[in-house]
Chains A and B, each alone.
Chain A
Amino acid sequence: MMTGTAELRGQALAIHNLSLEFPTFSGAVKALDNVSINVGKAEIVGIVGESGCGKSVTTMAATGLLPRGRYRITGGSVRLFNHNTLAMDESQLQDVRGKMVSTIFQEPMNALNPTIRIGKQLTDVIMRHEEASLPDARRIARDILADMLIGEPERVMKLYPFELSGGMRQRVLIAMAFSCNPGLIIADEPTTALDVTVQAVILRLIQNRARRTGTSVVFISHNVAVVSQLCDRLYVMYAGRIVEHGATRTVLDAPLHPYTQALLRCLPERVAPKQELEAITGAVPTLMHPPAGCYFQPRCKEPVDLCRSRSPQLAGSDGREVACWRRGVAPETSEQGSRQ
């Protein structure tokens, strides 16, 4: 349950008990509550959850991408390769982004500048972070585009983003993310807008490149099937909290948290044709006025009294933890029980 500082040294990203809220006129929206995520070196880690559960906010907060002054960190720490990104100013963050960490966003059209040719956008990034000359940067860009299976990279570098298909644009963006050899790639739903054949190729490219260069990857997705194919470990988020995490196979084969179980049961792939899917009743709580106790308790099938009064903490062993009173041990004895 507790992550020692000695353990943190070998981590690419260590988010510890991060809590974050967005102040609004009608009150603070508690977007993250005690979120802890650890990403080891050369590890591919998935964050799964439905829209609004805080999966993107977590990584954006860690990389300083949230708009300044619009949010408030109310607790916790972030260590990115042992650098405290929460304490950095914008110019320090710009050195970190691209060099240490790089983000691939969902919609490649919005992430590329529509008025600048692909080649210049790529070489600008490489020259900024690698201190390479223009010819060197062009060579690196060409190689990495070829690595992303883009035929005729020289020709593609002369094109504008609108001249490329969605799958090509996303591959350009992945090339850009990998171009300065960052230690960590954050892929925020990088394939959601794409066809399945293109998606499969892009997942493979990310996986191959990460494995070959020893890059860590945080893969954010709402698609559990995709995560099951790509990730070593997996975090499940619900309403701004981590509810369960562990090795991908373990979590998906034997989910412990009622939310993870329900999430898997409502997928058509796992049910006989035309059978009723087990939908999760109710709706995600508003994070301005979250319910007392466990956030999933209003939709849970088997809540006990404790669930309504106290929020469960993550507990478990061997890198597998779940935040549920019914799975863990009784609250007072849980401390001993989980440590073993």
Chain B
Amino acid sequence: MTEGVDTIARPVLEVSDLNVRFPASRDWLGRPTSHVHAVNGVTLQVRGGGSLGIVGESGCGKSTLAQAIIGLAPYEKGRVAIDGEDLQAAQGRQKRELRQKMQIVFQDPQSSLDRRLPVWRLISEPLHIRGGHSNAELHAKAGQLAVAVGLRPEHLDRLPHEFSGGQRQRIAIARAISTDPDLMVLDEPTSALDVSVQAQIVNLLLKLQRERGLTYLLISHDVALVRHFCDDVAVMYLGQIVESGPADEVLGNPRHPYTQTLLASAPSFASPLPTIAEVRMGELPNNRKLPAGCFYKERCGKAAAGCEAPQVLQRLSDGARHARCHLAQG
């Protein structure tokens, strides 16, 4: 507790030059001949107690990024460190301990909860795996966690199907905080829920963050939610971060053409429906063969000389943010 200020500043999650690719086809010996390039050189940091939102369209690699961070998707190149320790390099007991420091909440609580286990077992499953607790202890601990997420103690012996979507998501959150993780990865935690229930879950997550100093990585396609929920935001396109920085700066005054398009098309009370020309509709380029130069140039309305060169994420002269566009420097 004496290191209060230090813990705030120190990054809990550090990702550097992460590349994730999956074999798309194999030759007769089973050797991969082509790959799907899902994440292409992502570098990011989330400081302790902070929250980073990742936004982007479906297929941009945001969920793969989350899975690589949590250790569910193997990667060949790059580094993921939790509290300064490399997860993929860790072995045995150390790896198990690192794993306990991070948890994930999935989009659909219907499929992420084992429907044959009672709620107390679901919530205490991570502790059960860690070992060293009797069933009575686990039940008691699950009771505390259930209350912390707004469930009632009498819910503990019921099965998941007896709950509504919002309550199931509360169970998933209770399970995620059971090991006192430093990092919580939230993969579209409210997308499957109605707006009134979404508000309850968002409030709960913000409350848990205040009380427990949790660090969040929120994957979402909902710009309004990210603006509300996160300190920082990173916008992804075709496996790359195209713009990142403080959420109010990036979402209030986007500088990368893709962020501008994304924000213009997000439904909003304040603005009318954009025209078709404004939306710059297009499909994500094929991620088996990555385009040369800027990944966004085919769809970009501002494409100019210089876009053929690969773009790097550079710091903009004004403000604390980065953009992957040579025209964004302004």
Chain A: residues with CB nearer than 8 A to chain B? 50-51, 149, 165-167, 195-201, 203-205, 207, 222-226, 228-230, 252, 262-263, 266-271, 273-280, 283
B166 to A, closest residue via Cβ? A283
> Which residues does chain B contribute within 8 Å of A223, judged by CB atoms?
267
Q: State the majority secondary structure of interface residues on A.
A: helix
> Which residues does chain B contribute within 8 Å of A269, judged by CB atoms?
224, 227-228, 268-269
User: What is the CA–CA distance of A292 and B217 in the complex, to the nearest angstrom?
Assistant: 44
B262 contact from A197, A203, A225, Cβ within 8 A: A197
Contact string against A for B residues 188-232, beta-carbon threshold 8 Å, 1 for contact and 0 otherwise:
000000111111101100100000000000000101110111000
User: What is the CA–CA distance of A198 and B221 in the complex, to the nearest angstrom?
Assistant: 13
| Total A-B contacts with CB atoms under 8 angstroms apart | 115
Tell me the smallest distance from the CB of B216 to a CB of chain A, in Å: 12
B329 within 8 A of A: no
Q: Knowing A267-B224, A274-B228 touch, does A197 contact B281 (C-beta < 8 A)?
A: yes
Contact B200–A268 (Cβ < 8 Å): no
- 30 A-B residue pairs with Cβ-Cβ distance under 8 Å, sorted by A, are A50-B196, A167-B281, A167-B283, A195-B221, A196-B57, A196-B221, A196-B262, A197-B261, A222-B194, A223-B267, A225-B268, A229-B267, A229-B271, A229-B272, A263-B195, A266-B196, A266-B198, A267-B199, A268-B227, A268-B228, A269-B228, A271-B228, A273-B228, A274-B229, A275-B228, A276-B203, A278-B199, A279-B200, A280-B199, A283-B164
Q: Knowing A195-B221, A196-B265, A197-B261 touch, does A204 contact B196 (C-beta < 8 A)?
A: no
User: What is the CA–CA distance of A118 and B225 in the complex, to the nearest angstrom?
Assistant: 37
Interface residues of B in 247-270 (CB under 8 A from A): 247-248, 261-262, 264-269
Tell me the smallest distance from the CB of A78 to a CB of chain B, in Å: 27
> Which residues does chain A contribute within 8 Å of B262, judged by CB atoms?
196-197
Tell me the count of chain B residues lying within 8 A, CB to CB, of chain A. 40
Known: A51-B194, A205-B276. 9 other contacts (CB 8 A): A167-B281, A167-B283, A196-B221, A197-B57, A204-B273, A204-B275, A268-B199, A269-B227, A277-B228
B280 within 8 A of A: yes
User: What is the CA–CA distance of A228 and B270 in the complex, to the nearest angstrom?
Assistant: 9
B195 contact from A207, A266, A273, Cβ within 8 A: A266
> Which residues does chain A contribute within 8 Å of B224, judged by CB atoms?
225, 267-269
B301 within 8 A of A: no
> Which residues does chain B contribute within 8 Å of A224, judged by CB atoms?
195, 269
